[in-house]
Amino acid sequence: MVQKKITRKIISSKLPPKKEEAPKQVEDLSTDEENSPGGRTVHAPSVQQNDGNKFASNEVRAKKVCYFCQSKTNPSYTDLANLRRYLTDRAKILPRARSGVCSKHQRAVARNIKYARHLALLPFVPKV
């Protein structure tokens, strides 16, 4: 695969310079493929810009797939090993965002966990 040489220019400010100040310098971001032993070195400012969002990241998270939709099963209060996957270490029910279960099966998981707790198959509180 042939690597292309990438050159980007970042302008520090898009506003016209003030009368007292000299115009700001333009930084050049370029990759040196020939000079670096690893093959690619990027010359960039030490601080990454994230457009004002302090939680921005470059990682793209893959959406979790519902376990029950994938296996074409339904949660059951008798399947304790499977229900324990949706409990925290403090015996709280995990939310959908953390468990990756669809809304239909999240309601069924919560109902079955509560029923299993009522039958004393699962704990209400963790062991001390």
DSSP string over 39-100? S--B---SSPP-TT-TT--S--PPPPPPHHHHHT----TT-HHHHHTTB-TTSPBPPHHHH-
Cβ 86 vs Cβ 101: under 8 Å: yes
pLDDT in tens, 30-89: 555 555 455 555 555 555 555 666 666 666 677 788 999 999 999 999 999 999 999 999
Q: Which domain holds residue 72?
A: 67-118
Q: Is residue 77 part of a domain?
A: yes
Residue 99 lies in a domain: yes
User: Could you tell me the CATH number of the domain that includes residue 106?
Assistant: 4.10.640.10
Is residue 109 a part of any domain in this protein?
Answer: yes
pLDDT band, very low/low/confident/very high, at 1 (cuts 50, 70, 90): low
- The radius of gyration computed from the CA coordinates of the chain, to the nearest angstrom, equals 27
Higher-confidence residue: 121 or 2? Answer: 121
> Does residue 113 sit within a domain?
yes
39 part of a folded domain? no
Asked if residues 75 and 68 have their Cβ atoms less than 8 Å apart, the reply is: yes
Q: How many structural domains compose the chain?
A: 1
Mean pLDDT of 98-122: 95
Task: Name which residue leads in pLDDT, 110 or 23.
Answer: 110
Q: Do the domain assignments include residue 60?
A: no
Q: What is the pLDDT of residue 80?
A: 94
